[in-house]
Each structure stands twice: as C-alpha cells, then as structure tokens.
Amino acid sequence: MDTTRTLGRSGIEVSAVGCGCWAIGGEWQDPDGQPLGWGRVDDDESVRAIRRAVDLGVTFFDTADVYGTGHSERVLGRALGRRRDEVVVATKWGNVFDADTRTLTGGDDSPAHLRRALTASLRRLGTDRVDLYQLHLADAAPERAAELRDACEELVAEGLIRAYAWSTDDPARAAVFAKGPHCTAVQHALNVLTDAPEMIRLCEEADLASVNRSPLAMGLLTGRHAGRRPLPAGDIRSRPPAWLRGFGDGSGADPAWLARVDALRDVLTSGGRTLAQGALAWLWARSPRTVPIPGFRSVAQVEENAGALEKGPLTDEQMTEVERILAR
C-alpha cells in the first residue's frame, strides 16, 4: 500500500493515517456541565505519543482551538517543536470558549473572529502558518460560509494558511466551501458502521480529501468497550449528546452497536490486524481520498494505528463481505 495520500487539489502530501488530537485536550465542558472531552490526560504521555507518531511516519495532525479550550493546540505545539516542518498541521475555528473555566461558551461565524482565532491558534501551536484551517461550525449558514470561504482565500494569499476545509456532515454545505480554489478537503464522520456515500461522491467530484473523524466510532471499533463498563464522568461518552451514536444511557456502549462490531470482527481482524487496524483498512478501501484521523491518548494507541499502514486496505472481497454482514 502507498502509505501517503494527497489532500485534494492542494497537492499537500500526508500520511494515509493521521492523529486526531481531540482527546489530548483533556477535560472541558459546555455551559450546562456536559463533558466535551475524553477525560483526564497525561500531557507528557501525549507529547511522547505525538513524537512517536512522527517517528513512525505519521505526518498529519488534526486539532481544534476548542479542544481542551486551547490545551490540545499547546500540547501539539510543544510536542512538535523543531519538527514542525516535517508534518502537516490542521486546526479549526468557530467556537468561542473560556480557557480559565475550560468551558465552551458559544460560536462566532464572523470573518473578524476567523482572523482573531487564527492568530490565537498560531500562538498556541508555536508556528507561523496552519496547513489546513477548518470551519468547526457544522451548521453555519451557507451564505455566511461563502463569506468565510472568501476570507480564507485572503489568509492563503497572506501565507497564514495553506488550504482550508469545512468540518461538516452536510454535503450541500461542504459544496459551498468547495467552490473556493484553496478548499482542499471536508472533514466528516465516516467509519465501517456509518458510511457517507454522498460525501465521498462530493470529494471525488470536487477533488477534495475526505478527512475522517470518528474512524473508530468513538472507540467502539477498538474492541475496548465490550464489557459495558460505565465511563468516567469527564468523558463525553458518559453523557452522550444527541449526535453521538453508539453510547446510550451512560452505562457504556450500546449493546446493539457492539453486536454489529462482533459480527464484523472476523473480517476486520483478518491478516493479523487488530480490530482498530481493520477499521482503518476498511476506510482506505472505501475510497482513495480517505484520510482517517483516529484519536489517541497513549504511545501504544499511536503505534497500533500507525501499524495499520503496513497491512494496507481490505480487499474487494472483504469489502463485499462487510456489506453482506451489515445488510443482515
């Protein structure tokens, strides 16, 4: 397998698997106390994991200003240090937060906030440019998004960003950004349990990369949630918001979703793969445009995800078998 992919029309080359940096932001919340992080983190372990990923050939790191209300960006910047130029850094804007209380306070879709947010992200990341800058307001109005797209083009011209994208699951919204010359990707949910054929079609037609969040279905495809154990209070999955599928009443993973994972286990773990590696292999076979960004909080998780590269994508026969199993 070619272990690299191109970020759409930008020509920017990245490793075929990236690192999603949401979890390393640590605990944060909404104004009602709803957890929005993945629980407590060890920053030193996060730094070791990022550096190990780079050593293993991972060159794509995706974060957001709101993850840990700035903490994820600071940890990523600290970890990369002088190796910044070896990698491609993606971050996001649109959310407003109070870093002192680690609380999300709202959203701001104005062009003025776009520039302010970028300035703050550059400072936290310790860099002079962002390679892929992504709108983080999934349901922003298409008319306003067109303004933001044009503002992003100005930032490209100034050398502050190299390319931009929208993090949204709505193909019609993504298509608005795709009209911009330097829009090169869309970030959207995609995994073996939740396909997104319309978004894949848009990526192919508009020459965009499909950056895949939740490639391991928020952990369901790692095999670590089979015991229905309650999750820690600071973990978003302990009180899942409406959009977070697969985790029900706070007592752990939904049994119906776990049954689907079990049904897929044999085909995904073929060829000596772990379950997580099989889930990544499905994504690579799904389209040559996919770039999964599994989350991590440890060196071991990074090593497992990067280890999927040498095993490559699932075969056509295996993809057909997955379809057959899920259709039952």
- Give the pLDDT score at 250: 64
| Contact status, residue 204 vs residue 9, Cβ threshold 8 Å | no
Query: CATH number for the domain including 74?
Result: 3.20.20.100
Instruction: Mark whether 133 is an active-site residue.
Output: no
| Contact status, residue 312 vs residue 284, Cβ threshold 8 Å | yes
Strands (E), 24-110: 60-62, 88-93, 95-98, 103-107
Q: What is the DSSP letter of 185?
A: E
Q: What is the dihedral of CA 205, 209, 211, 212, to 10 degrees?
A: 50
Rounded Cα distance, 138 and 84, in Å = 28
Q: What is the pLDDT along the chain (328 residues), one digit of tens a residue?
A: 689 999 999 999 999 999 999 999 999 999 999 999 999 999 999 999 999 999 999 999 999 999 999 999 999 999 999 999 999 999 999 999 999 999 999 999 999 999 999 999 999 999 999 999 999 999 999 999 999 999 999 999 999 999 999 999 999 999 999 999 999 999 999 999 999 999 999 999 999 999 999 999 999 999 887 656 678 888 888 888 878 888 876 667 888 999 999 999 999 999 999 999 999 999 999 999 999 999 999 999 999 999 999 999 999 999 999 999 999 8
Across-strand partners of 188?
212
Rounded Cα distance, 175 and 47, in Å = 36
How many domains in the chain? Answer: 1
- Of the listed 22, 60, 67, 247, which one is catalytic? 67
- Give the pLDDT score at 203: 98
Residue indicated by tokens 């804007």: 93
Coil, strand or helix: which one is 134? strand
| Contact status, residue 79 vs residue 50, Cβ threshold 8 Å | yes
Burial class (CB in 10 A: 0-12, 13-18, 19+), 138: middle
Coil, strand or helix: which one is 7? coil
Domain that holds residue 221: 4-327
Q: What is the DSSP letter of 244?
A: -
Tell me the CA end-to-end span of the chain in Å, nearest whole number: 31
Element (H, E) at 79: helix 71-80
- Give the pLDDT score at 235: 82
- Give the pLDDT score at 234: 87
Rounded Cα distance, 124 and 265, in Å = 40
Rounded Cα distance, 310 and 17, in Å = 11
What are the tokens at 325? 């199993």
Element (H, E) at 234: none
- Give the pLDDT score at 172: 98
- Where do runs of H (alpha helix) occur along 91-141? 111-125
Rounded Cα distance, 104 and 148, in Å = 21
Rounded Cα distance, 170 and 138, in Å = 8
What are the tokens at 44? 């030193």
